[in-house]
Chain A
Amino acid sequence: MKRGLFLKYVVLFVGLVAAVLVINSALGLWFVYQENRRASIEVQHEKAENAAQRIESFVREIERQIGWVAQAQWANLPVEQRRFDYVRLQRQVPAITELVQIDREGREQLKVSRLTMDMVGSGTDLSKEPAFVEAMAKRTWFGPVYFRKESEPYMTMAVAHGGRGGVTVAEINLKFIWDVVSQIKVGRDGYAYVVGPQGRLVAHPDISLVLRGTDMKRLPQVAAAFASPGAGDSEIDAKNLAGVSVLSAHAEIPALKWLVFVEVPTIEAQQPVINAGLRGLSLLVLGLLIAALAGALLARRMVVPIRALQAGAERIGSGELGHRLSIKTGDELESLANQFNRSAAALEESYATLEQRVEDRTRELQESLEQQTATAGILRVISQSPTDVEPVLQAVADAAAGLCRADEAAVFLFKDGAYRWAASAHIASTYVDVVKGETFTPGNDSLVGRTALHGTVVQIEDAPNDPDYGRRDLAQLGGAHTLIGVPLQREGETIGVMVLTRRHVERFTDKHIEILKIFADQAVIAIQNVRLFTELRESLEQQTATAEILQVISSSPTDVAPVMEAVARAAVRFCGAEDAHVFLRDGDDIVSSAHEGPLSAHPLGHRDPLDIRLSRAQSIVEARVTHIVDTESLDAQEYSLTRTYAVKHGFRAQLNAPMLQEGRAIGCICLRRRDPGAFTPRQIELLETFAAQAVIAIQNVQLFTEIQEKSRQLEVASQHKSQFLANMSHELRTPLNAIIGYTEMMADGLYGDVSEKAQGVLERVQSNGRHLLGLINDVLDLSKIEAGQLVLAMEEYSVTDMVATVLSATESLARTKGLKLGSDVPAGLPTGTGDARRLTQVLLNLVGNAIKFTDQGSVEVRAAEADGRFELSVVDTGFGIAPEDQAKIFEEFQQVDNTSTRKKGGTGLGLSISRRIVELHGGRITVESEVGKGSTFKVTVPVNASPIKEAAQ
């Protein structure tokens, strides 16, 4: 509304005036324009008529001049006279370039020219010329405009002499009309021009247009004039050759059929209109100025009181409710001002009450905010102090005293059977000193006691003057009058009491009590938190310690010392001791095995006798925990050694836990403290756990050591056996060879003839000797293998050859038993690499066995190759082997124990040796068999074997 209204009034006023003026001017201009156009065209037309007259008179003058000579009798004059007349005529009329006299027969009699030679009596026949024909018929003839040398406009004019006088023909240079046309002045820039019957320009102020033979019909006004001759002047939009808009009028010269145009540029013709427009515009501007002034004056008169209203309303709006408007216009504005005044008065009235309410509300909000802030502060302290209840209680006391406008606040917690001081705020130190020493028990005597007793909020309005109040002494000491006690309750149990005091008598309001209850609850939560947290941490730490010890046990199976050290460390950390010492029992001594802590101790390996005067020895001997709260209080006789060490090592309290193995203590863990004091049951329990773990570790180590010892002994025994066997075999073979050799020589009769009976004996000796030799060889082989002395001699071999060798060696044996011996070896098996002699031995053993354990049927050797391995099978139709025996037959000295096998003899080492040989090649040997149906032994070895280095044990 700043300037808006003023502007609006002015604009409206000016707009109205302007609209009227503009419409007026526009209408006036329109009429002026129309009038002016009409007048202009009229003037133009007059000028055109005038021009036409002038041009016509120019031509008529020439005609008149010619007529002066064109007398009927003139033709009869002598030629000198006629020539003279023609010359004179030319001098009179410069436009005539040439004059020709034609006699009545149409023959040229005389020609006088400005350009060519004069001719007299040439007699040229011109009777057919239109000039002659027309002039003879009509007396005067105007020829069409033509252009000499295609540029100069000319016209032929022929005048008959009348009677029989013939005709005078004049060639008229129309460039002379230029003088006439140029002199026609039309306005400032207007001009006239003449157009011939064909539309060609005859005369124009710009002569070059005429000379160029400009065709004017392309101008719309010329075209229109030709289209409707005599129709007057068109209103069409005319343009001149330069494209400028012109106002055009024309008039005709009927005798010549020429049109004379008069044109003036439209802009010039409309100059009066433009002037009128400019006048109108200046009037309009003037009118607008006056209107603006008048509008401003009027608007000011309207706006001033409104502005006053606005200013007054603004003052009231900005809080000046006492302000009153004073407008004396005597109209609606005055009554509006009065209305404002009444509203302001009403507003002022209601404002006063509102203020009071807002104040109250603000205070409430403030208190509420403070309370919330305090609560939040306490919660923050709780979250920041999970392990310590002290700061929380302090915060609670501070907040409670502050918010409840108490002079003092204190918190008491139940501990060791009584309520004791825990935290306080604003309480003088002397009072605190007193209270700190006090203990309160539930009862009506003290405020704390009363609160604890009832488990509810207890308020004493004026303690010093309350006859029921027992501890008036304390109240007086603190100068307290009104007291309030709030219980801190957990699961219905009062674990503490919060007390607030005022040094004057003023009851705590219900609101304060509510706040105090909240604070009490928060304190309880904090106490709970701390307790839970501590428990959790302890539990976690114990588990960690146990896990650590277990880890040490597992990583140290042979050595007990690290375990003992770990146990000592854990005991110090988790059992509340400054120092831990581990002792192990060794016969009737106890030996220091590990130590952790700052106190001086026996060096590791120190021995003490197992003397029960030593508390740790007592613990071992009696297999129980011994707990010394203070060494000073021990019986000097009974625990003389302990007390000696206590002084020596500087400890006062001690806890010993025995390491129990099957009810017997094998050692103990000893915890020590510099200060006297009891260990908690929990700590004792934990120490016992550690002791048990130490026992497990010791047992582990013992077991492990035993196993190790046993296996070492076994190994030595096995080696001895092998060595023995090898030696024995060798020792046996040498004499046996001698026996066989000599027997053979005897049988061959080298030592004389042998009786037939003796021969039989010798053969038996020889046969049994060979059998024994075989046995010994087998044993030798096996012992070599077991001693790791068998080395494979690798070479290339042919499976086909190997099978053939074996068959030829066993063929006689099979034949003896009437068995069919065959083979199935495909052609094209690759050459193998391995110990050929040993493999042949294996195959021989298998075939031999097969023949041995087969009484009827057949034995067949099959060979095949697949995946770079040879598969050699020996298939028989013998007794077969029971499944439970199949695993055993490859063990040393094992034979399927039944009557049939015992009959067959053998060392029982063959298959064992075969298995070892095959395994040394990196192959395996298996059996498939069914009792009564026969067996198939299968050997699989790599085609290209590389010896397995591992020597059999």
Chain B
Amino acid sequence: MKRRHFLLAAGATGIASPARSQLPSGPRIAYLSGRSAATDAHLLEAFREGFKSAGFVDGQNVTMDIRWANGRYGDVAKMAAEVAATKPDLIVAVGGNPVAVAAKQATSTIPVVFGAGADPVKIGLVDNLNRPGGNLTGMTLWANELDAKRLDLLHDMLPKARTVAVLMNPDNPGYEDLLPRTRETAAALGLEIKLLTAAGSSAIERAFESLPAGSVDALAVGADAFLINSRARIVALTNERHLPAIFPAREFAIDGGLASYGTRWTDMYRILGSYAGRILKGAKPAELPVQRPTTYELVLNLKTARTLGLDLPPLILTRADEVIE
């Protein structure tokens, strides 16, 4: 969008500056996101900020080819292959583990900066976190690790709740690993789990429909790109059913979800931007460690709490890093 604006501006002012008319001579990167422009605009902005801190501005000294899979994870392999075929200087693969995996499959030579939710070693993206060894490096949000913590927090919020629905994407590469740990945590907290699975957008509706009214006391949504991409829909469905819920990203809470616990993604994307810049300047992805988040935030939406008629315990309120009134 910006680029188009810029081109229009350049057209309007004529060939004012010959330096500006030589745009394509700089490096060219591809930004492939599994989500959509609608959900991720702020993350792209964060990436640009990080990229700029490393000295790169799209449309000035670098060209960005931005592509959105719009949550169609079945398409990302093809899109990654297309992107690799254009031989960019770098590929940014964000918005879900499948995108990172597809980028890894698409090229073994073009540097890839990924943002993944799962453990990158486990899903085969890198050999080692501090020395990735291949052409990939990036961030792991470690969002899944927090699934258990989210159940813990949900329990703190609703000490009386006994049955909790857990919404997960079975297509998530971490799914098999995640499920037993969720069950373990639930057992430790004395909770009963009702598992909901959704892999496509229509499946979300179906998952909620399969849940009889009043059968569960609360909902925990797992960290998953697809689910995050459908956050508006999920928040709407959750609130429709008056279900207290905890979500994996602050965006849910902002959009009306009761609570969220997780890292601040914009921070992550800023780091990805700076990593992309460092690689363009000559750093080797094999030597750049995969970074983990350092801050985790609990965001509470008291408006929703009031809508739900909930009275949140003081401990949770103390714990909350941000409260939306």
Binding site for B on A (CB under 8 A): 80, 83-84, 87-88, 90-91, 94, 113-118, 149-152, 173, 175-176, 207-208, 211-213
Chain B: interface residue total (CB-CB under 8 A): 28
Instruction: Knowing A84-B314, A115-B146, A151-B289, say if A94 contacts B319 (CB, 8 Å).
Output: no
Query: Which residue of the partner chain B has the closest CB to A90?
Result: B319
- B287: Cβ under 8 A from any A Cβ: yes
Contact yes or no, A87 B319, CB < 8 A: yes
Contact yes or no, A151 B292, CB < 8 A: yes
Please, which residues of chain B bring their CB within 8 A of the CB of A176?
Answer: 294
Least Cβ–Cβ distance between A431 and chain B, in angstroms: 111
Contact yes or no, A213 B318, CB < 8 A: no
Contact yes or no, B315 A117, CB < 8 A: no
Q: Give bound CA distance, A208 to B151, whole Å.
A: 32
Cβ-neighbour of B130 out of A94, A117, A150 (below 8 A): A150
Would you list 19 pairs from A and B whose C-beta atoms are within 8 A, ordered by A residue?
Answer: A80-B315, A83-B315, A84-B315, A87-B315, A87-B319, A91-B318, A91-B321, A113-B149, A115-B146, A116-B152, A117-B152, A117-B185, A149-B129, A151-B130, A151-B292, A152-B292, A207-B291, A208-B289, A212-B130
Please, which residues of chain A bring their CB within 8 A of the CB of B281?
Answer: none
Contact yes or no, A87 B129, CB < 8 A: no
Please, which residues of chain A bring their CB within 8 A of the CB of B291?
Answer: 207-208, 211
Contact yes or no, A115 B145, CB < 8 A: yes
Q: Give bound CA distance, A152 to B290, whole Å.
A: 10
Q: Give bound CA distance, A149 to B121, whole Å.
A: 11
Least Cβ–Cβ distance between B285 and chain A, in angstroms: 11
The digit string for B258-296, where 1 denotes a CB below 8 A from any CB of A, is 000000000000000000000000000001111110111
- B158: Cβ under 8 A from any A Cβ: no
Cβ-neighbour of A116 out of B131, B149, B189, B288 (below 8 A): B149
Which residues in chain B, 49-100, are within 8 Å of chain A measured between CB atoms?
none
Least Cβ–Cβ distance between A241 and chain B, in angstroms: 11
Contact yes or no, A117 B149, CB < 8 A: yes
Q: Give bound CA distance, A88 to B316, whole Å.
A: 10
Q: Give bound CA distance, A117 to B130, whole Å.
A: 26
A-B pairs, top 7 by smallest CB distance, nearest first, are A211-B289, A151-B130, A117-B152, A212-B130, A151-B129, A87-B319, A114-B296
Contact yes or no, A117 B148, CB < 8 A: yes
Please, which residues of chain B bring their CB within 8 A of the CB of A94?
Answer: 294-295
Please, which residues of chain B bring their CB within 8 A of the CB of A88?
Answer: 318
Please, which residues of chain B bring their CB within 8 A of the CB of A152?
Answer: 292
Q: Give bound CA distance, A862 to B26, whole Å.
A: 131
- B19: Cβ under 8 A from any A Cβ: no
Please, which residues of chain A bring their CB within 8 A of the CB of B287?
Answer: 208, 212
Q: Give bound CA distance, A118 to B128, whole Å.
A: 29
Cβ-neighbour of A91 out of B130, B148, B319 (below 8 A): B319
Contact yes or no, A150 B129, CB < 8 A: yes
- B188: Cβ under 8 A from any A Cβ: yes
Least Cβ–Cβ distance between B116 and chain A, in angstroms: 14
Query: Which residue of the partner chain A has the closest CB to B278?
Result: A208
Which residues in chain B, 108-136, are within 8 Å of chain A measured between CB atoms?
128-131
Least Cβ–Cβ distance between B150 and chain A, in angstroms: 10
Contact yes or no, B149 A87, CB < 8 A: no
Which residues in chain B, 296-322, are within 8 Å of chain A measured between CB atoms?
296, 314-315, 318-319, 321
Most buried by B among A150, A151, A175, A207: A151
Q: Give bound CA distance, A115 to B146, whole Å.
A: 6
Least Cβ–Cβ distance between A189 and chain B, in angstroms: 15
Least Cβ–Cβ distance between B187 and chain A, in angstroms: 11
- 6 more contacts with CB within 8 A, not counting A149-B292, A150-B128, A213-B130, are A88-B318, A91-B318, A94-B295, A151-B290, A175-B294, A207-B291
Please, which residues of chain B bring their CB within 8 A of the CB of A175?
Answer: 294
Least Cβ–Cβ distance between A182 and chain B, in angstroms: 12
Query: Which residue of the partner chain B has the closest CB to A88?
Result: B318
Least Cβ–Cβ distance between B152 and chain A, in angstroms: 4
Please, which residues of chain B bring their CB within 8 A of the CB of A212?
Answer: 130-131, 287, 289
Which residues in chain B, 125-174, are within 8 Å of chain A measured between CB atoms?
128-131, 145-146, 148-149, 151-152, 156
Q: Give bound CA distance, A264 to B223, whole Å.
A: 44
Query: Which residue of the partner chain A has the closest CB to B129?
Result: A151
Contact yes or no, A115 B149, CB < 8 A: yes
Q: Give bound CA distance, A84 to B318, whole Å.
A: 8
Instruction: Knowing A83-B315, A150-B129, say if A117 contacts B189 (CB, 8 Å).
Output: yes
Q: Give bound CA distance, A213 to B287, whole Å.
A: 11
Please, which residues of chain A bring their CB within 8 A of the CB of B295?
Answer: 94
Q: Give bound CA distance, A118 to B318, whole Å.
A: 15
Please, which residues of chain A bring their CB within 8 A of the CB of B315?
Answer: 80, 83-84, 87
Contact yes or no, A173 B318, CB < 8 A: no
Please, which residues of chain B bring their CB within 8 A of the CB of A173?
Answer: 294
Q: Give bound CA distance, A149 to B292, whole Å.
A: 10
Least Cβ–Cβ distance between A850 and chain B, in angstroms: 131
Please, which residues of chain B bring their CB within 8 A of the CB of A90?
Answer: 319
Please, which residues of chain B bring their CB within 8 A of the CB of A151?
Answer: 129-130, 289-290, 292
Q: Give bound CA distance, A950 to B289, whole Å.
A: 132
Query: Which residue of the partner chain A has the closest CB to B150?
Result: A117
Least Cβ–Cβ distance between A531 and chain B, in angstroms: 110
Query: Which residue of the partner chain B has the closest CB to A118?
Result: B152
Least Cβ–Cβ distance between B282 and chain A, in angstroms: 11
Please, which residues of chain A bring their CB within 8 A of the CB of B129?
Answer: 149-151, 211
Please, which residues of chain B bring their CB within 8 A of the CB of A91?
Answer: 318-319, 321
Q: Give bound CA distance, A175 to B188, whole Å.
A: 31
Query: Which residue of the partner chain B has the closest CB to A207?
Result: B291
Least Cβ–Cβ distance between B293 and chain A, in angstroms: 10
Least Cβ–Cβ distance between A113 and chain B, in angstroms: 7
Please, which residues of chain A bring their CB within 8 A of the CB of B189?
Answer: 117
Please, which residues of chain A bring their CB within 8 A of the CB of B130?
Answer: 150-151, 211-213
Query: Which residue of the partner chain A has the closest CB to B261?
Result: A114
Query: Which residue of the partner chain B has the closest CB to A119?
Result: B188
Please, which residues of chain B bring their CB within 8 A of the CB of A118?
Answer: 152, 156
Query: Which residue of the partner chain B has the closest CB to A209?
Result: B289
Most buried by B among A118, A175, A207, A213: A118
Least Cβ–Cβ distance between B117 and chain A, in angstroms: 15
Query: Which residue of the partner chain A has the closest CB to B319?
Result: A87
Least Cβ–Cβ distance between A50 and chain B, in angstroms: 25
Q: Give bound CA distance, A117 to B149, whole Å.
A: 5
Query: Which residue of the partner chain A has the closest CB to B184?
Result: A117
Query: Which residue of the partner chain A has the closest CB to B185?
Result: A117
Least Cβ–Cβ distance between A154 and chain B, in angstroms: 11
Q: Give bound CA distance, A176 to B185, whole Å.
A: 29
Q: Give bound CA distance, A173 to B296, whole Å.
A: 13
Least Cβ–Cβ distance between B324 and chain A, in angstroms: 17
Q: Give bound CA distance, A114 to B292, whole Å.
A: 14
Least Cβ–Cβ distance between A361 and chain B, in angstroms: 88
Q: Give bound CA distance, A115 to B318, whole Å.
A: 17
Query: Which residue of the partner chain B has the closest CB to A213?
Result: B130
Please, which residues of chain B bring their CB within 8 A of the CB of A208?
Answer: 287-289, 291
Q: Give bound CA distance, A176 to B130, whole Å.
A: 18
Contact yes or no, A116 B294, CB < 8 A: no
Q: Give bound CA distance, A83 to B153, whole Å.
A: 13
Q: Give bound CA distance, A91 to B130, whole Å.
A: 28
Q: Give bound CA distance, A80 to B315, whole Å.
A: 8
Q: Give bound CA distance, A845 to B238, whole Å.
A: 172
Q: Give bound CA distance, A90 to B148, whole Å.
A: 19
Please, which residues of chain A bring their CB within 8 A of the CB of B149?
Answer: 113-117
Least Cβ–Cβ distance between A216 and chain B, in angstroms: 15
Least Cβ–Cβ distance between A352 and chain B, in angstroms: 85
Least Cβ–Cβ distance between A77 and chain B, in angstroms: 14
Q: Give bound CA distance, A76 to B98, whole Å.
A: 50
Q: Give bound CA distance, A839 to B106, whole Å.
A: 127
